[in-house]
């Protein structure tokens, strides 16, 4: 996307068209997005897009026009999908704390499936369906007690995580089967053990657990969740989606598991097709250590403060060497992880890579900051897909 070593270009468009007053902004590359979707469509499994990773309406429309299957975790996400698509999209409703209203709306909308995370949720759903004489598809999300070997804060499949039905309680679920079957149609097992998974070992363990479950009780579908990791570090040996799912397929075959496989990918769709362009606001020359204050804060990009995550930083390489980069928000944790010396000067443009997933969706108005622009490049054109928030948005809900 960027060729800023030779001059600052995105595709063939010069960066000079961006007036610095519009920075920071998110920049997506449609070509890369289409390429990712093309790769996903080649996988043997049925893929749902996990909306929580990026809920920009323009990007959701791309998903609607390509795979048209969504994994959601709130009614707000369902409403967004209905907004872009009157016709039916396939929707799975995941999430550990669904409210009665959310369950009721999902039942009335006849969404494809609700992934139930506890026996209590199953009861709630059963009584609602019985009361309103409706029937709904359900998958049981199981907590398999498996370490996804990823960041602790994005692991979801260990026994002490809040997600899923504990394996020890599975017998109770099977007993309930008979009582609820007139209103609840159980179609499968569901698992999501974590995000940014880069190793196959946890998946091997998961499939072994699945085999044991299938021996106890068979259902048609197996939803093995999302989690495919992306390369934030720009290693030469990249994580290859084709090899990853090919290996999973091989393990499934080894255990003779013939079920239809669903996946709920989020991060893979947009992560590496987006970067943030920001600029240096101040350079501070302290006696012991020098530092850079950017105009990009944790309100716009919270992953480093929240998860200690890494985003590759680059500048146009003019100026003095700096290693420590901070945002303008009034918090000490408003800082970025970086080990390299990067040459910057006052007003330098600074790029943050791999910012298409779990970045804009997690942004906030902290310090009464307005949410920033998102733009997309396609065929040498630029389109604004989110306009910078106006002050009216920040104050309209006060009496």
Ligand X SMILES: Cc1ncc(COP(=O)(O)O)c(C=O)c1O
- Contact at 8 Å (CB) between 322 and 290? yes
Query: Across-strand partners of 188?
Result: 139, 221
Query: Across-strand partners of 155?
Result: 194
> Helices (H), strands (E): how many in the chain?
11, 22
Q: What distance in Å separates the CA atoms of residue 32 and residue 1, rounded to the nearest whole number? A: 9
* Piece in contact with ligand X (CB under 6 A), picked from 49-57, 273-281, 284-292, 307-315: 49-57
User: In whole angstroms, how close is the CB of 102 to ligand X at the nearest point?
Assistant: 15
Q: What distance in Å separates the CA atoms of residue 396 and residue 272, rounded to the nearest whole number? A: 35
> Is residue 24 involved in binding ligand X (CB under 6 A)?
no
Query: What is each CA distance from 105 to 48, 128, 250, in whole angstroms?
Result: 20, 11, 39
* Piece in contact with ligand X (CB under 6 A), picked from 77-85, 170-178, 265-273, 386-394: 265-273
Q: What distance in Å separates the CA atoms of residue 93 and residue 83, rounded to the nearest whole number? A: 17
User: In whole angstroms, how close is the CB of 71 to ligand X at the nearest point?
Assistant: 5
Q: What distance in Å separates the CA atoms of residue 220 and residue 233, rounded to the nearest whole number? A: 38
Q: 136-143 and 184-190 as β-strands: parallel, antiparallel, unpaired?
A: parallel
> Is residue 354 involved in binding ligand X (CB under 6 A)?
no
Helices (H), the chain: 30-41, 57-66, 75-84, 100-109, 119-131, 170-180, 201-216, 241-254, 267-270, 303-307, 391-395
| Residue 4: both structure tokens together | 């800023």
Give me the 181-210 binding string for ligand X, x by CB under 6 A, dash otherwise. Answer: -----------x--x---------------
* Member of 265, 280, 344, 350 binding ligand X (CB under 6 A): 265
Let me know the angle formed at the C-alpha of 100 by 80 and 68, rounded to the nearest 5 degrees: 30
> Is residue 272 involved in binding ligand X (CB under 6 A)?
no
* Piece in contact with ligand X (CB under 6 A), picked from 60-68, 233-241, 242-250, 259-267: 259-267
Query: What is each CA distance from 245 to 30, 47, 51, 131, in whole angstroms?
Result: 24, 12, 21, 42
Q: Residue 174's CB: how many other CB atoms inside 10 A?
A: 12
Closer of 139 and 186 to ligand X (Cβ):
139
* Piece in contact with ligand X (CB under 6 A), picked from 105-113, 221-229, 325-333, 338-346: 221-229
Residues whose CB is less than 8 angstroms from the CB of residue 118 and which lie 6 or more positions away in sequence, other chains included: 96, 165
Query: Across-strand partners of 264?
Result: 48
Closer of 202 and 226 to ligand X (Cβ):
226
Return the biggest CA–CA distance within the chain: 73
* Piece in contact with ligand X (CB under 6 A), picked from 22-30, 46-54, 199-207, 330-338: 46-54
Tokens 């943050």 sit at which residue?
A: 352
* Member of 226, 297, 327, 356 binding ligand X (CB under 6 A): 226
Tell me 155's DSSP state: B
* Member of 144, 225, 297, 327 binding ligand X (CB under 6 A): 225
User: In whole angstroms, how close is the CB of 73 to ligand X at the nearest point?
Assistant: 7
- Residues binding ligand X: number (CB under 6 A): 16
Give me the 67-106 binding string for ligand X, x by CB under 6 A, dash otherwise. Answer: ----x----------------------x------------
Tell me 227's DSSP state: -
* Positions in 119-178 near ligand X (CB under 6 A): none
> Is residue 356 involved in binding ligand X (CB under 6 A)?
no
Closer of 267 and 311 to ligand X (Cβ):
267
User: In whole angstroms, how close is the CB of 197 to ligand X at the nearest point?
Assistant: 7
Closer of 56 and 348 to ligand X (Cβ):
56
* Member of 202, 266, 297, 327 binding ligand X (CB under 6 A): 266
Closer of 41 and 383 to ligand X (Cβ):
41
* Member of 69, 80, 98, 267 binding ligand X (CB under 6 A): 267
Query: Which positions touch ligand X (CB under 6 A)?
Result: 50, 52-53, 71, 94, 192, 195, 225-228, 264-268
């Amino acid at each position: 996307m960027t060729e800023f070593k030779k001059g600052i270009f995105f595709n063939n468009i010069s960066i000079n068209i961006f007036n610095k007053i519009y920075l920071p902004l998110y920049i997506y590359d449609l070509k890369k997005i289409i390429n990712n979707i093309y790769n996903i469509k080649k996988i043997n499994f049925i893929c749902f897009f996990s909306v929580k990773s990026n809920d920009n309406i323009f990007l959701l429309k791309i998903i609607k026009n390509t795979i048209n299957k969504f994994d959601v975790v709130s009614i707000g996400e369902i409403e967004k999908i209905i907004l872009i698509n009157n016709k039916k999209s396939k929707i799975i409703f995941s999430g550990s704390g669904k409210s009665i209203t959310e369950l009721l709306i999902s039942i009335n909308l006849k969404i494809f499936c609700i992934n139930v995370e506890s026996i209590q949720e199953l009861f709630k759903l059963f009584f609602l369906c019985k009361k309103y004489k409706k029937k709904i598809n359900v998958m049981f999300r199981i907590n398999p007690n498996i370490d996804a070997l990823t960041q602790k804060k994005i692991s979801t499949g260990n026994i002490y995580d809040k997600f899923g039905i504990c394996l020890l309680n599975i017998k109770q679920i099977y007993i309930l089967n008979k009582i609820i079957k007139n209103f609840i149609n159980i179609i499968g097992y569901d698992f999501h053990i974590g995000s940014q998974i880069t190793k196959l070992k946890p998946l091997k363990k998961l499939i072994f657990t699945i085999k044991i479950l299938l021996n106890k009780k068979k259902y048609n579908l197996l939803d093995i969740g999302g989690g495919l990791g992306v390369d934030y570090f720009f290693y030469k040996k990249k994580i290859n989606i084709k090899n990853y799912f090919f290996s999973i397929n091989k393990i499934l075959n080894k255990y003779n598991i013939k079920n239809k496989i669903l996946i709920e990918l989020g991060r893979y769709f947009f992560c590496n097709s987006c970067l943030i362009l920001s600029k240096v606001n101040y350079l501070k020359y302290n006696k012991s250590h020098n530092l850079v204050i950017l105009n990009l804060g944790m309100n716009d990009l919270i992953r480093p403060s929240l998860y200690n995550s890494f985003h590759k930083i680059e500048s146009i390489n003019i100026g003095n060497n700096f290693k420590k980069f901070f945002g303008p928000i009034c918090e000490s944790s408003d800082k970025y992880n970086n080990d390299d010396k990067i040459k910057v000067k006052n007003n330098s443009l600074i790029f943050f890579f791999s910012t298409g997933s779990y970045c804009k969706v997690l942004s906030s108005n902290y310090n009464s900051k307005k949410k920033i622009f998102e733009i997309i490049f396609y065929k040498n054109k630029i389109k604004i897909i989110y306009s910078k928030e106006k002050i009216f948005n920040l104050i309209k809900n006060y009496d």
